[in-house]
Amino acid sequence: MKFSEKWLREWVNPPVDTQGLGEQLTFMGLEVDEIVSAAPDFKGVVVARIVNIQQHPDADRLRVCEVDCGAEELIQVICGAPNARAGLTTALAQVGGRMPDGTKLKKAKLRGQVSMGMLCSAAELGLSEERDGIMELPDDAVTGTDLVAYLELDDSIIDIDLTPDRGDCLSIRGIARDLCARNDLALQVREINETPVEVDDQHSVVVDGQSACVRFTGRMLTQLTPGCATPGWMIERLRRAGVRAISPAVDITNYVMQELGQPMHAFDADKLQGGIQVRLARAGERLVLLDGRDVALDEDTTIIADDRGPIGIAGIMGGESTSVDEKTTRIFFESALFLPEIIAGKPRRYASHTESAHRFERGVDPAGQREALEYATGLMRAIAGGQAGPITDWQDDARMPARLDVLVRRARLQRVLGINPEVATVSMIFTRLGIRNETTADGWQVSAPSYRYDLAIEEDYIEEVARILGYDSLPRTSPTYRPVLRAVPESAVSPMATKRLLVNRGYQEVVTYSFVEAARQELLRPDLKALPLANPISSELGVMRTTLVGGLVSTMQRNLSRQISSMSLFETGLRFLSNNEGASTAGLDAYLSADHGADLQSDTGVQQQNMIAGLVVGRLSAENWNATVREADFYSIKADLEAMFSQANGVSIAYVPTDLAMLHPGQRAGMEVNGVLVGYVGALNPALQQSLDLSVMPVVFELSLHALSLASVPKAKPMSKFPQVRRDLALLVDESVTCQSIIEVIREQAPAILQDVRVFDVYQGEKVAEGKKSMALGLILQGFSRTLEDAEVEQVVAKIVAALEIAHGAILRV
């Protein structure tokens, strides 16, 4: 908000200079963005009066003026302004003066006639955007007076940045209140006299109880002098507030709003049909606004209407059909109170973030409507004369904003601020701020004034004490903190180590939203119910993710659209389930609870699981002339998983069948640790690939990060000095039997001397019966105390073959 320093000092005049005033405002939370001089950078401009004027003999658009500039003799100035006339008091830039753009005025000849300066428009002097003619000053202005002094331009324009909760400071009076409290000064209240009723002329007003309006005041002014001009002092104050002057009626409503904080509107009474209605818009109603836009009105929008229909959007902008103009002689002034919670959002909806809407969204003083109306009436009559009608004053007491009593505890104030001010000091601050207060045994019972919407809880009032004392006066005491280092198990594998491993293997980390599109989530994990968001940032991001794979697939699609066909991506983060969802992870949660701690859960029934997911698609390496480039497949991503688990000492991963619909039926597996399902790996299901319109089939994995943290402390043991023995087995088994189940049976039979089991061939086809498959395994055996004898090895092998025959019906092929 911009305002004139002089205007502010009419309400309160602290004993500080401009810089000190800015510092006080900033330390009270009204941050000063900028302080600039009100006077544009011109020099040598004085008040002058045109005494005589004649047509230029050699130019149709120029005239020769004899000008009184306060000197002993008249000077000649050539001027082309259409409003130049004898007797006009205006601004003269003299020879030797300087314009705001740096131009220096010199004696000049225009079409053979000497010009001793330039008669200036307000735009040329940087005082406004008005370019229709030269400035018109009041007739009583003394010629020769420096224009800076005459217009009181020896002023500063202060621009402050207000937080959304301080709507009460969107006015000169509101800012002055805070300065009075800071400096212990009395507010210089402007005397606003009640205007006597001179004519019995008024419009009936009907307010719908469902609308945003809880108070409406209005009055008629008749017999106004048409074509009057807004006084220069008012135009100049509005300019310094960043408001462009339009016409007396509009300028007065803007002036009152800037000074008192109450938005108003002026209707041309002769253009109104019947009484005033404040109601909700009806289906199909439209309105042409003051800025010329034709908008469709929603049915939850409060409007001002007459018998014909809408004439304004309440608290935002008036309609073009009832706007005032230079011919207006009868005005209806409206000064109302609209509830901020109902107005909020409407300015953005209608793309009309006006000064009025800015204030109504933040809250306007419920006690200020009649006062503003009387002030505007007095200003209007002083400029354009006229007679005032009676005031219509309607109020809905049941819906008026209320201010609740709050207890501010002395102990709480001391704890929050770190100081212990005197009781009398705090009471005095509350009183200066207009806060009703009463001292109690525990502190103060307080109640906010009507204009302070931001004071609702105890901390709000404590903040007020800090603001008025000055944030700079609070002691700079560093908090005492005794850190307790959390013991990290020696066996723990940090997520950062896992990330580094993946990066070293060519992956790139991505971070995606935790909230996702419901339809896409349903495609990926139809078996898990996604948790809906109460207030999503968009309709496409309406639920919490149950899998991280969706974000990786979306990232892949964006990269594919940029012609990036090969990529390896991973992400770590939370997935969100209800506590009764995800049966596949229930065993893991119980297991972790007994060891390293379960994932985060809350009383709301939401389970948050820390996961890591990866996606690989395309070539695994760059094209090379001397090597075959391999495409990503199930086994390449499985190798990455094996590398991840190799960091976790003692964690044994097993791959088991899974029916997860998201994955390809022939290229998918679940992952188990200690018999608990911790994740899955596989290629994306072709049906899902088609539904998501994917041009490629990525391979993905997802598992619990906790599973990688279940390592044990490595224990050193000597290497065997004795030779290894290898025995190969060719087994005929049903095609449904997995390698993992075969290996598990083998390890159970020779746990001590069995060092490794290697699957080196799986075959189905000629010479193998239908429904069967041939599986070739290499057994690596080694003793630690002696060299294994052939008989001992053959005995172990025979035991293994017998166990495989019992468990899986395996037949040894010869």
Q: What is the CATH number of the domain that holds 168?
A: 3.30.56.10
Using the predicted structure, report yes or no on whether residue 767 has a pLDDT greater than 90.
Answer: no
Tokens, residue 352: 């009309």
Distance of CA 722 to the CA centre of its chain: 70
The residue written with tokens 């047509």 in the block is 55
For residue 596, what pLDDT is reported?
Answer: 37
- Does residue 543 lie in a domain region? yes
Report yes or no on 65 lying in a domain. Answer: yes
The average pLDDT across 628-632 equals 86
Q: E strands along 380-419, which residues?
A: 387-388, 392-395, 406-409
Alpha-carbon distances, residue 762 vs 770, 786, 806 (angstroms): 14, 34, 21
Which of 556-559's residues contact partners 24+ apart within 8 Å by CB, and which partners?
A: 556/615, 556/617, 556/694, 556/698, 557/692, 557/694
Interacting residues of 633 by C-beta distance below 8 A, sequence separation 6+ = 667, 683, 699
Q: Are residues 9 and 110 in the same domain?
A: no
CATH number at residue 541: 3.30.930.10
Output the pLDDT for position 723: 93
Q: What is the pLDDT of residues 525-542, one digit of tens each?
A: 998 989 999 888 888 889
The 10s digit of each residue's pLDDT in 472-518 is 888 887 777 888 887 777 777 888 999 999 999 999 999 999 999 99
How many CA atoms, within 13 angstroms, populate the side-chain half-sphere of residue 487? 4
Side-chain half-sphere exposure of 579, counting CA atoms within 13 A: 9
Residue 19: which residues within 8 A CB-CB, separation 6 or more? 35
In a domain, 189, yes or no: no
Establish if 236 belongs to a structural domain.
yes
Q: What is the identity of the amino acid at 140?
A: D
Instruction: Identify residue 617 by its one-letter amino acid code.
Output: V
Task: Name the nearest CA neighbour of 91 among 146, 132, 149.
Answer: 146
* 674 and 581 in a common domain: yes
**Span 71-90, mean pLDDT?**
93
Q: Token pair of 641, please? A: 């998983």
| Dist CA 78 CA 123 (whole Å) | 18
- The domain of 439 spans 406-473
Q: Looking at the structure, tell me whether residues 451 and 515 fall in a common domain.
A: no
Instruction: State how far the Cα of 116 lies from the Cα of 34, in Å rounded to an integer.
Output: 38
Residue 460 is assigned to a ligand binding site: yes
Q: How many CA atoms lie within 13 A of 392 on its CB side?
A: 21
Percent of the chain with pLDDT over 70: 97
Please state the rounded mean pLDDT for residues 732-756. Answer: 87
Strand residue runs (E) in 685-753: 699-704, 725-734
**Alpha-carbon distances, residue 775 vs 343, 670, 796, 814 (angstroms):** 75, 21, 19, 13
Same domain, 242 and 298: yes
Q: What is the mean pLDDT of residues 357-362?
A: 95
Helix ranges (DSSP H) in 117-231: 147-150, 172-183
Q: What confidence tier does 131 reach under pLDDT thresholds 50, 70, 90?
A: confident
Q: Residues 230, 364: one domain?
A: yes
- Which pLDDT does position 580 carry in this prediction? 64
Q: Is the pLDDT of residue 166 over 90?
A: yes
- The structure tokens 């969100």 sit at 576
Please state which of the ranges 274-278, 486-490, 728-732 shows the lowest mean pLDDT. 486-490
Tokens linked to 683? 């290629």
Determine whether the annotation assigns residue 200 to a binding site: no
Amino acid at site 407:
L
Confidence of residue 592 (pLDDT cuts 50, 70, 90): very low
463 annotated to bind ligand:
yes
Residue type, 666: G
Task: Name the residue among 559, 589, 595 with its Cα closest to residue 709.
Answer: 595
CATH code for position 232: 3.50.40.10
Structure tokens at 468: 């008025």
Q: Say yes or no to pLDDT of 143 above 90.
A: yes
Q: Region 57-83: what's the mean pLDDT?
A: 93
212 part of a folded domain = yes
Rounded distance between C-alpha atoms, residue 704 and residue 152, angstroms? 73
> Which residue, of 342, 368, 399, is where some domain finishes?
399
Give 586's contacts (C-beta < 8 A, 6+ positions apart): none
- Tell me if 489 is assigned to some domain: no
Say what the pLDDT of residue 588 is. Answer: 43
Task: Give CA separation, 127 vs 22, 94, 122, in Å.
Answer: 24, 18, 5
Contacts 24+ apart (CB under 8 A), 798-804: 799/749, 799/750, 800/729, 800/745, 800/746, 800/749, 800/750, 801/729, 803/745, 803/746, 803/748, 803/749, 804/731, 804/733, 804/742, 804/745, 804/746
Q: Is 33 flagged in the annotation as binding?
A: no
Cα distances from 57 to residues 53, 63, 110, 548, in angstroms, run: 12, 8, 11, 85
DSSP code of residue 319: B
- CB count within 10 Å of CB 9 equals 16
pLDDT at 595 over 50: no
pLDDT value, residue 604: 64
Rounded to an integer, the average pLDDT of 125-133 is 80
Query: How many separate domains does the chain show?
Result: 6
Q: Do 808 and 742 touch, CB atoms closer than 8 A?
A: yes
70 within some domain:
yes
User: Do residue 566 and residue 698 come from a single domain?
Assistant: yes
Average pLDDT, the chain: 90
**Could you give the C-alpha distances from 565 to 526, 557, 562, 619, in angstroms and in order?**
28, 10, 9, 8
Determine contact, residues 243/412, Cβ cutoff 8 Å. no
- Kindly report the number of other CB atoms within 10 A of residue 330's CB atom: 19
Tell me which of 709, 738, 768 is where a domain ends: 709
Task: Return the CATH number at 791.
Answer: 3.30.70.380
CA separation, residue 730 to residues 77, 743, 763, 773 (Å) = 115, 13, 10, 10
Per DSSP bridges, beta strands 31-37 and 156-161 are antiparallel
Model pLDDT, residue 589: 41
Q: pTM score > 0.85 for this model?
A: no
**533 shares a domain with 458:** no
pLDDT band at 341; cut points 50, 70, 90: very high
Assign residue 598 a region: left if phi > 0, alpha if psi is -120 to 50, beta otherwise?
A: beta
Q: Is residue 361 part of a domain?
A: yes
Boundary of a domain, candidates 106, 134, 150: 150
> Is residue 427 domain-shared with residue 341, that is, in the same domain?
no
Res 81: pLDDT: 93
> Does one domain contain both 230 and 290?
yes
Contacts of 661-664 spanning 24+ positions with Cβ under 8 A: 661/526, 661/527, 661/685, 661/688, 662/524, 662/525, 662/547, 662/549, 662/688, 663/700, 664/697
637 and 670 co-located in one domain:
yes
SS3 call for 543: strand
Is 233 in the same domain as 357?
A: yes
Q: Is 630 helix (H, G, I), strand (E, B) or coil?
A: coil
Strand order in the sheet with 31-37: 2-4, 156-161, 31-37
Amino acid sitting at position 476: R
268-282, 370-384, 760-774, range with the lowest pLDDT: 760-774
Q: Tell me, what amino acid is at 12?
A: V
* Token output for 81: 């302004």
> Do 500 and 625 have their domain in common?
yes
Which of 440-446's residues contact partners 24+ apart within 8 Å by CB, and which partners? Answer: 440/407, 442/407, 442/409, 442/410, 442/411, 443/407, 443/408, 443/409, 443/410, 443/411, 443/412, 443/413, 444/407, 444/408, 444/410, 445/405, 445/406, 445/407, 445/408, 446/405, 446/406, 446/407, 446/408
Side-chain-side CA neighbours of 284 within 13 Å: the count stands at 0
